[in-house]
């Protein structure tokens, strides 16, 4: 006897959760294959492509460092490590936002022709961003050695921090992929949004440089506690503040729940909106 | 890329129910703009203009499709044919009613060719298959057959943006039929490709019919509908106007169009 698929109206606009989750899990291979194909397409499969992957943020951090030297006159190596580590992590988020935003509209033909959990597309886009981020960890390790930064047990906090960064990057990819279906010009606004986020986050400056007046940034910017903790762990070898970890975790999971709900409640319409 | 889902290779008896559609209604909201933007939305909102419209694409449809048969679907543009095919395929959920699909479905819908133009034909075949739920092993087992059927071995590793529309159609058709689906849905895709491939694809459709698979064929090529189908439905503005043997329904549809047996409508695939 063949399997029977039953299609009925969505309850409260949402697909049946168990069936959806099962279908999503059954298509794990798509996500990894998509990431590999996308990296190949962007030439990151070649050795030169992989070099560019780390060279790009490295050069950017060098440019910003030059700017900082000129503006503030500080030349300490810790400052350069802070800048580089922060930019690498920040790139994970922005790459995920940029690729995620166009993931659904770019997969339009597949959406029009095939039944599958649409959320696979922004997930795959965020995995590509994660794949691009991983080699930068090796560069940070080398930088650690070269600059003589402390190796402490606190460095192990890098693992949960990367996980928190990824959850946040995934949530952003899901959110912007859905918004982009309805407002295609949102992609034009993304450079301004990401640039603003960069300036509001402790990347180009250290959190200790923040005046009391600007302390509200810690609360309103989800990236603030993440990036501050990242710098404490990766550059200073210190333990992150528990409040920062808690805040970052809540931000990431809350955004993931909200963006997933928004996506799932809207994905029924994607086939007629693309 | 055309969609495919895993074939279970279970033999079916002629007349066994493949698809059962009960009181189906499909309503959706769409924008009036082709490329919706925030800027336009704000401008239309400030001008107090309407921004979306409600489409009643399918209304109260009841239908059964059996194994061993080919159902033809005819109707003018906007009749709801493509929406119906997408609903049967699970792409677009019903607004009301219920659809039961007894078996694996492979779809070849008019617009659905290619996942990404920048990726190679090989990557598109693999990604299309994985998205539809096939395993990598199943795709690998069928890959050579797909490429040979499409006659695209020399260009399978080239980006799909370099393919002609005929090459696109050949690859999409090859994927859809090579996986031996229980139910195959073809929406206007038989009319693409060169004469040689049209004959080849039509023969494949007949072969699948002979193997007691269920086929749904949406086409404006009425001669093909009459030649291949056992039963035809005529849709108009989402409603079922007529259902019956191909000659009767096609004749009535031609009369409705008031063009009789014009060469344009009789154009074969």
Instruction: Count other C-beta atoms under 10 Å from residue A196's C-beta.
Output: 11
Tell me which chain A residues have a C-beta less than 8 angstroms from the C-beta of B119.
37, 41
Residues 6 or more apart whose CB falls under 8 angstroms from that of B224 comprise: B190, B202, B217, B268, B269
The answer to whether position B174 is within a domain reads yes
The answer to whether position B48 is within a domain reads no
Number of alpha carbons in the 13 Å side-chain half-sphere of residue B118 = 10
Q: What is the CATH number of the domain that holds B176?
A: 3.40.50.300
Cβ distance A4 to B100 less than 8 Å, yes or no, reads yes
**Structural domain range at position B99:** 17-21+63-266
Measure in Å the smallest separation between the Cα of A102 and chain B Cα atoms. 12
Cβ distance B123 to A40 less than 8 Å, yes or no, reads yes
Helix or strand run (H / E) with residue A7: strand A4-7
Number of alpha carbons in the 13 Å side-chain half-sphere of residue A8 = 6
Identify the pLDDT of residue B110: 59
Nearest one of A60, A125, A63 to A95, comparing CA atoms:
A125
Number of folded domains that form chain B: 1
Predicted confidence (pLDDT) at residue A268 exceeds the cutoff of 90:
no
Minimum CA–CA partner of A3 in chain B: B103
The answer to whether position B3 is within a domain reads no
Cβ distance B94 to A7 less than 8 Å, yes or no, reads yes
Q: What percentage of chain A exceeds 70 in pLDDT?
A: 97
Closest residue to B37, CB basis, from A7, A115, A184: A184
How far, in Å, CA of B171 to CA of B213, rounded?
21
Cβ distance A269 to B119 less than 8 Å, yes or no, reads no
Q: Which two tokens stand for residue B216?
A: 């749904």
Instruction: Count other C-beta atoms under 10 Å from residue B27's C-beta.
Output: 15
Predicted confidence (pLDDT) at residue B104 exceeds the cutoff of 50:
yes
Kindly report which listed range (A243-252, B7-16, B70-79, B80-89) carries the lowest average pLDDT score.
B7-16
The answer to whether position B9 is within a domain reads no
Residues 24-63 of A with CB under 8 A from B: 26-27, 29-30, 33-34, 37, 40-41
The answer to whether position B10 is within a domain reads no
The answer to whether position B161 is within a domain reads yes
The answer to whether position B29 is within a domain reads no
Predicted confidence (pLDDT) at residue B263 exceeds the cutoff of 80:
no
Number of continuous H segments (helices) and E segments (strands) in chain B:
9, 9
User: What are the pLDDT digits (tens) for A172-219?
Assistant: 999 999 999 999 999 899 999 999 999 999 998 888 888 888 888 888
Tell me which chain A residues have a C-beta less than 8 angstroms from the C-beta of B35.
184
C-alpha distances (whole Å) from A259 to each of A19, A252, B192 are 20, 10, 40
User: What are the pLDDT digits (tens) for B192-231?
Assistant: 667 788 888 888 888 888 888 899 999 888 888 998 899 9
The answer to whether position B211 is within a domain reads yes
More confident residue, B4 or A85: A85
Identify the pLDDT of residue B115: 65
More confident residue, A35 or B194: A35
């Amino acid at each position: 006897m063949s399997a029977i698929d039953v299609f009925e109206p969505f309850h409260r606009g949402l697909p049946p959760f168990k069936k959806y989750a099962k279908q999503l899990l059954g298509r794990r291979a798509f996500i990894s294959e998509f990431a590999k194909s996308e990296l190949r397409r962007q030439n990151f499969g070649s050795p030169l492509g992989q070099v560019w992957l780390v060279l790009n943020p490295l050069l950017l951090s060098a440019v910003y460092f030059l700017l900082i030297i000129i503006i503030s006159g500080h030349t300490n190596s810790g400052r350069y490590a802070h800048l580089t580590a922060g930019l690498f992590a920040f790139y994970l988020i922005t790459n995920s936002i940029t690729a995620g935003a166009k993931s659904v509209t770019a997969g339009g033909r597949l959406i029009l022709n095939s039944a599958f959990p649409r959320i696979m597309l922004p997930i795959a886009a965020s995995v590509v961003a994660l794949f691009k981020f991983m080699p930068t960890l090796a560069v940070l390790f080398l930088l650690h050695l070269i600059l003589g930064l402390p190796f402490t047990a606190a460095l192990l906090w890098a693992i949960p921090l990367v996980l928190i960064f990824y959850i946040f990057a995934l949530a952003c990819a899901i959110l912007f992929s859905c918004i982009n279906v309805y407002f295609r010009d949102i992609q034009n606004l993304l450079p301004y949004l990401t640039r603003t986020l960069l300036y509001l986050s402790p990347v180009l400056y250290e959190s200790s440089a923040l005046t009391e007046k600007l302390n509200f940034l810690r609360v309103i910017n989800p990236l603030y506690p993440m990036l501050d903790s990242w710098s404490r762990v990766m550059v200073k070898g210190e333990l992150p503040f528990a409040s920062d970890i808690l805040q970052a975790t809540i931000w990431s999971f809350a955004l993931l729940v909200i963006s997933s709900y928004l996506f799932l409640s809207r994905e029924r319409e994607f086939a007629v909106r693309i | 890329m055309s969609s495919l889902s895993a074939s279970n290779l279970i033999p079916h008896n002629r007349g066994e129910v493949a698809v059962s559609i009960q009181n189906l209604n499909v309503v959706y909201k769409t924008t009036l703009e082709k490329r919706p933007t925030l800027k336009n939305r704000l401008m239309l909102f400030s001008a107090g203009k309407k921004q979306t419209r409600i489409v009643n694409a399918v209304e109260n449809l009841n239908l059964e499709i059996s194994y061993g048969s080919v159902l033809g679907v005819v109707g003018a543009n906007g009749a709801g044919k493509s929406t119906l095919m997408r609903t049967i395929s699970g792409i677009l959920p019903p607004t009301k009613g219920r659809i039961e699909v007894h078996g694996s479905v492979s779809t070849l819908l008019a617009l659905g060719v290619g996942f990404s133009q920048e990726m190679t034909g090989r990557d598109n075949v693999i990604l299309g298959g994985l998205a539809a739920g096939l395993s990598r092993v199943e795709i690998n087992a069928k890959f050579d057959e797909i490429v040979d059927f499409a006659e695209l071995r020399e260009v399978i590793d080239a980006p799909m943006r370099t393919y002609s529309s005929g090459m696109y159609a050949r690859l999409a058709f090859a994927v859809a039929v090579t996986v031996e689906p229980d139910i195959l849905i073809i929406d206007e895709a038989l009319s693409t490709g060169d004469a040689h491939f049209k004959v080849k694809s039509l023969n494949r459709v007949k072969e699948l019919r002979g193997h007691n698979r269920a086929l749904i064929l949406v086409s404006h090529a009425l001669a093909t509908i009459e030649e291949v189908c056992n039963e035809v439905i005529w849709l108009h503005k989402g409603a079922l106007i007529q259902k019956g043997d191909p000659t009767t329904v096609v004749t009535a549809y031609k009369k409705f169009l008031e063009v009789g047996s014009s060469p344009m409508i009789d154009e074969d695939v």
